[in-house]
Amino acid sequence: MRQREGEAPAWIVGEDEQGVTIAVRVTPRARRAEVVGEHGDALQIRVPAPPVEGAANEALIAFLAEALDVRRRDITLLSGERSRRKLVRIQGLDGRTVEARLGGREPGQSGRGRRRL
């Protein structure tokens, strides 16, 4: 899904003064944690953990915390605990910062790239 210059990507589903809500599609049991790109209106993220007893959710939160340079407690899983598609709330950042850090580009640049940790 292509976005127009200056528009937020479709995977940023909400933003207010406290933070951002993003839509994520998680692929468990990957070789490493990484942002792959967009999958429809969600950000595709691979995590190495299996989808058992919340392990993939914990791996997702740990990956996002490191990639976004925020504390784990600033990331909340709003929905999708037992689904590949999830809504995640990130406190303390704006949409442009989240897009730049997860999209692998600086604000104002275009293009897609992978972000690995």
**Architecture category of domain 12-105 in CATH:** 2-Layer Sandwich (3.30)
**pTM of this structure:** 0.84
Where exactly are the structural domains of the chain?
Answer: 12-105
Span 39-62, pLDDT tens digits? 999 999 999 999 999 999 999 999
Per DSSP, 34 falls in state E
Closest residue by Cα to residue 102 from 42, 14, 37, 58: 37
Span 54-83, pLDDT tens digits? 999 999 999 999 999 999 999 999 999 999
Per DSSP, 29 falls in state S
